[in-house]
Every structure is written in structure tokens, then in C-alpha cells.
Amino acid sequence: MPSTPVRLALIGCGGMARIHLNAYGSLKQKGIQTFEITAVCDPALDRAEQFAALAAEWGDRPTVYADLEALLRDRPPDAVDVTTPHHLHHTTAIACLEAGAHVLIEKPLGVTIRAARRMIEAAQRTGRTLATAEQVRRWIGPRATRWALQEAGLIGAPRLFFAQNSGGDRHAHPDERRSPLPFTWRQDKLTGGGGFIFDGGVHYADVLLYFFGDVETVYAFVGDVNAWEWPLPDGGTRRISVEDTCVAHLTFADGVVGTWTWTGAAPGRGINYTVYHGSHGSVYSEGIYPTHPELQWWNGEVVPYEELIRRFLASLGAEERECLFPAALFPDPASLSGDHGVELEVYDFLEAVRTGRPPELDGFAGLRAQAVVTAFFESHISGQPVRVADVLAGRVDAYQREIDAAWGLR
Ligand SMILES: NC(=O)c1ccc[n+]([C@@H]2O[C@H](COP(=O)([O-])OP(=O)(O)OC[C@H]3O[C@@H](n4cnc5c(N)ncnc54)[C@H](O)[C@@H]3O)[C@@H](O)[C@H]2O)c1
């Protein structure tokens, strides 16, 4: 186990990277001295400089780079934290792994299944850690939900789930047919890989896998229902080439069946909830994710959120509690609210690098969640239900072929 701090580089200094940087800063404030941020890298040098200045508030000032090649050539770090746009995930991660660095990479693992598989192969070839940055299951709400559904069996045998996140834009009149948001890499199929159901959907797919195990089949509609024009930086407009809506039906290997709707094209009354039913009751939460689960028995009796959390925490042995909520970070997990997941995620990665143990979510875990949402697109294109195992193995890839071709993955 190395006694010197892990030398860490941040690759990408955009929106999500800032949340990672704050999480590393919080670890330092809590006395975690197992790492140093030695480099930051972004072609937008002003952002990288800003990151270096922020990191210098709690450590040595990191070296600033505009490109990854120069960073890896100078002195490869022990580990990197990658938050680039999706189409750069695989080239960035593979270059870092081949330079000997361990990699934590934001979800979705790769822009396509092929990209993701190449990253996993590179990790296997180099013997380095590839961890998927996935914070949602680490929140106390999803942890307690998993306990209620599986370990404690509080709702009996799980049988059904429903998730609906539907709403419309409230800032522009629908007849304007123009998005209030600018067109970015996220709205382009080749750079984003897909819209929200790909980008954000992997979080919920991971939660479902965590609760119920493998998804067997998916049958989905995916489309750009708003059909808006999106503003370009030069003043022009462009249609997005990703979806704004998805309506999906899923079956799980353990027999659970459910539906999952996500849309930004449903003006009027929005609905946001997720619910899991078993033979004896349900666990319900408002929101996209089960952040505030509430148990209800078959006879209507309710176990409210606070009581459920209390019972969950009381059920944990000392070792498990330390693993889920390390005392050095969160001495009072019952009081947790808000986003503590990223801090847990980067801490898990640093500990994996430092001790040589696997991270909770490796590259394969990222691929598994990605295959579920990729199956939505593949099902829509084929007009048929698809087996997630076929998508994961690369046997079904009609939606992804254009992206693979664009990035030399075919
Ligand atoms: N876990 C979450 O909740 C969550 C939330 C938002 C985004 N994300 C993920 O984080 C990643 C980044 O998303 P974002 O919202 O921060 O995007 P962003 O556009 O805000 O930031 C991306 C940054 O990468 C930089 N970049 C571009 N090319 C680069 C290169 N070759 N080398 C280094 N940096 C480069 C850009 O200049 C930009 O600063 C994506 O994978 C996204 O899915 C995760």
C-alpha cells in the first residue's frame, strides 16, 4: 500500500468536474491526506486555470495543461478523474490507462458499447483500475431502498416498478418551437451518444440493476417529440439529433416487470415519482431517483422516510456502515441530505487506488448500466423488444453504428 499521496490529475474542467473538485476539497477539509491534485487539463485554458487556483486553496497549485498528451508526456499521474464530453471518454481513458494511470471516468462509460468495451479491455491489458463515476446509488435514499427491497425483504417478493418523469418547458411558448437552451455536444448524437435517457438514464439503470439484478428485455419508444430548433453560438439554429422522450417497458431476470417514462416534451402538469411494488407493499419516492423512500404495507400502513432510514442504519454492522458511510466523512449518516454521493464516489476511487482493492463500480458495472439504456435506442430502431445481453455483447448495434463509424470504432 503506497504511503505517499496518490498523484491525481483532473481531465476536463467543466460543470461536473467542478462538483468533483468540490468533493476533493471537502475530503481535504475532513483531513483526508491520501491524495494531491497535481495537474488539471482542459483545452479551455481559462477553466483549467480557475480550477488550479481553486485547488491551490487547499493544496499545492496543480500544473495546468491544455492537452492530455503533454500532461502524460511530462509525468504521468498515478490516477486521473475524467469528466470530458462522452465522445472523448474512450480515447482519454485508454491513453491514461496505457500511460499507467488508474482511471475514474464519468458515466456513461463510453459513447457506445464498443467504446466502453475498448476501455474495459485497456484496463485488463494494463492491469490498472477503471472505475465508473456513479453517485446515485451511494445516496442514503437508494441505499435504504435496496435494503428494504432485498436484505430486509420488507415488501415481500418484488414484482413491479414504475418510474415516470414527465414535464415540459415553462420558459418558452410551445408555438415558438425553439428551445430556450443552446445547442451543445449533448444535443448531438455523435458527441453525446444519446440525449437524457442515455446521459442521465444510466444513473437510474444502475439503481434498477442494484435493486433487481439483470434486465432481460427492453421494448421502447425513443424520439425528439418537441422537434424544436436549438440556438447555435453563431446565431443560427439546429434540430437536436438525440431524443427528448422515452417510454420503455423492462423485464428483469428475477421476474420483475416495469415501465419507465422520461420526457421533456409533456407541457402542463409534470409528474416525477418512482415506485417499487412487492407481494406485501411498496416503496415510493417522489423525484427521478428514490431519494426519499417511504414504505407502505398492503393495508395502507406507512413507514415514513425518517423511520425507514433509522431502521436501515440500525440494521448495519460496523464494517458495512464504515463501507457505505465512512465515519471520517459522514459521522452522522442519518442527517445526510443533498448530494453526498460524489464525495463517496471519489473517496472510493482513491481508496481503490491506494489499497489495490476494486472500486464499488468498475468499468463492467458502467457497461451494464449503459447497455440497459442503449437497448432503448436499439429497440426503437428495430421496432421490437431487444435482449439487453445482445446489446451488451455488441450483437445488436444499429443505432450505434453511425457513432462508432464517426470515431473509428468499426
Ligand atoms: N454524475 C452526474 O450527475 C453528472 C452530471 C453532469 C455531467 N456528468 C458527466 O460529466 C461529463 C462532463 O459533463 P459536463 O456537464 O461537465 O460537461 P461540460 O461541457 O460542462 O464539461 C466538459 C469539459 O470537458 C472539456 N474538454 C473537452 N475536450 C477535452 C479534452 N480533449 N481534454 C480535456 N478536457 C476536455 C471541455 O472544455 C469542458 O470544460 C460527462 O460524462 C457527463 O455525462 C455527470
Q: What is the pLDDT of residue 337?
A: 78
Q: What is the pLDDT of residues 297-334, one digit of tens each?
A: 999 999 999 999 999 999 999 999 999 999 999 999 98
Question: Does a structural domain hold residue 351?
Answer: no
CATH number of the domain to which 59 belongs: 3.40.50.720
Ligand 1 atom 27, closest CA: 84
Say if residue 212 is in the same domain as residue 295.
Answer: yes
Among 112, 135, 158, where does a domain finish? 135
Among 135, 154, 185, where does a domain finish? 135
Say if residue 302 is in the same domain as residue 242.
Answer: yes
Question: Does a structural domain hold residue 211?
Answer: yes
Say if residue 50 is in the same domain as residue 102.
Answer: yes
Q: What is the pLDDT of residue 334?
A: 87
Ligand 1 atom 41, closest CA: 106
Per the structure, how many domains does the chain have?
Answer: 2
pTM (predicted TM-score):
0.97
CATH number of the domain to which 313 belongs: 3.30.360.10
Say if residue 30 is in the same domain as residue 99.
Answer: yes
Q: Give the residue-averaged pLDDT of 29-36.
A: 97
pLDDT over 70 for what percent of the chain? 99
Question: Does a structural domain hold residue 401?
Answer: no
Q: Give the residue-averaged pLDDT of 378-404.
A: 98
Say if residue 188 is in the same domain as residue 230.
Answer: yes
Question: Does a structural domain hold residue 253?
Answer: yes
| 126 has a pLDDT exceeding 60 | yes
| 381 has a pLDDT exceeding 60 | yes
Say if residue 248 is in the same domain as residue 331.
Answer: yes
Question: Does a structural domain hold residue 368?
Answer: no
Q: Give the residue-averaged pLDDT of 266-286.
A: 97
Q: Give the residue-averaged pLDDT of 351-377.
A: 98
Question: Does a structural domain hold residue 404?
Answer: no
pLDDT over 90 for what percent of the chain? 94
Say if residue 145 is in the same domain as residue 231.
Answer: yes
Measured in Å, residue 181 CA sits from the centre of ligand 1 at: 17
Say if residue 130 is in the same domain as residue 146.
Answer: no
Ligand 1 in contact with 356 (CB < 6 A)? no
For 119, phi then psi, to 5°, come to -70, -45
Helix 113-126 and helix 363-382: axis angle, to 10°? 160
Structural domain including 91 reads 6-135
Measured in Å, residue 189 CA sits from the centre of ligand 1 at: 16
Say if residue 330 is in the same domain as residue 222.
Answer: yes
Among 107, 135, 163, where does a domain finish? 135
Q: What is the pLDDT of residue 2?
A: 57
Atom of ligand 1 nearest to the CA of 105: 41
Neighbours of 141 (CB within 10 A): 24
Q: What is the pLDDT of residue 211?
A: 98
Ligand 1 in contact with 261 (CB < 6 A)? no
- Pocket probe for ligand 1: among 84, 132, 197, 242, the residue whose CB has the most ligand atoms within 8 Å is 84
Say if residue 218 is in the same domain as residue 150.
Answer: yes
Q: Give the residue-averaged pLDDT of 158-169.
A: 96
Question: Does a structural domain hold residue 379?
Answer: no
Say if residue 188 is in the same domain as residue 298.
Answer: yes
Say if residue 201 is in the same domain as residue 129.
Answer: no
Question: Does a structural domain hold residue 186?
Answer: yes
